[in-house]
Amino acid sequence: MPGQKLSVVVTRRLPEAVETRMSELFDVELRDEDRPMTRSELVSAMSRADVLVPCVTDQIDAGLLAQAGEKLKLIANYGAGVDHIDVQTARQRGILVSNTPGVVTEDTADMTLALILSVTRRIPEGLAVMQAGRWDGWAPTAFMGGRIGGKRLGILGMGRIGQAVARRAAVFGMQVHYHNRRRLHDDIETELEATYWESLDQMIARVDILSINCPHTPSTFHLLNARRLKLMKPSAVIVNTSRGEVIDENALTRMLRTKEIAGAGLDVFEHGKDVNPRLRELDNVVLLPHMGSATVEGRVEMGEKVIINVKTFDDGHRPPDLVVPSML
């Protein structure tokens, strides 16, 4: 109806500035408490909203979409990854899906380098000793880590984030190697001073540090399985700021325990917040609570992209960040 505001339901608390702007533009229903919606709550939200604004903690599968009703027309995801949404089924039901690409590139690349340094220089171990008051003073052989300058960094997935990681790595004097579904253009390879490996197996066997920067898709599930992990040097380190499902977490845990892999920095996990408890016991692992994109600036920009997608849709146009199944 002319003059009637679009009905929008948001599934999680968002930055205050984002929620305020949404309230000004739309008939928005915000969350009072910051916890994931239950499945029944999601079904209810999808039945009464024109637009649903979910995030990575909301699993929107075919069964859920079948209960959405006829009102829902857009799922404006708060985040770039959409592996938690059955985009194909949504489109078949006439529901568009949008996301927020590009916003978290620099923040996630920063966290990748932070994890590389944390693992190789044993920063959490030193921090734990200091906080416990157990430091006995400097010693020549205490807390010896590894130098990252001159090391070979292998990047699995050379999209926006992978390229941002490569630029940072070059500043630290690392040699950049990469494997990607498609080889980069010559100009980009030259700019990044990056060496392309068509064979992922061959690259993994030769790098000192492996950074996972590819999305979770059916083809990347357990891409780093036990066989591939065994190709890595015993002195190698693996860092993942992408999606936990890309690595066989049980296999990785076993190899870290037996020192077949020297260390790991993980911001994401195969089963979400249900982290393998054996990982927590290891002193050669740095675990973070999926905070790679957690900057004030990044989270506000994500919200602004959501608002643009919803407003553009409300004006009768295609959302600028529309996700189509062929993109996945």
In this prediction the pTM is 0.91
- Parse the chain into domains and list their residue ranges: 7-103+295-327, 105-287
Q: Where are the alpha helices (DSSP H) in 80-159?
A: 87-92, 105-120, 123-131
pLDDT at 327 over 60: no
Sign of CA dihedral 77, 81, 84, 89: positive
Average pLDDT of the segment spanning 100-124: 96
> Would you say 155 and 214 are in contact if contact means Cβ atoms under 8 Å apart?
no
pLDDT at 154 over 80: yes
Fold agreement between 7-103+295-327 and 105-287: yes
pLDDT band at 324 (very low <50, low <70, confident <90, very high): confident
Close Cβ partners of 157 (under 8 Å, ≥ 6 residues apart): 180, 212, 213, 214, 215, 242
Q: Does domain 105-287 have CATH number 3.40.50.620?
A: no
Average pLDDT of the segment spanning 215-227: 94
The CATH number for 7-103+295-327, chosen from 3.40.50.2000, 3.90.226.10, 3.30.70.100, 3.40.50.720, is 3.40.50.720
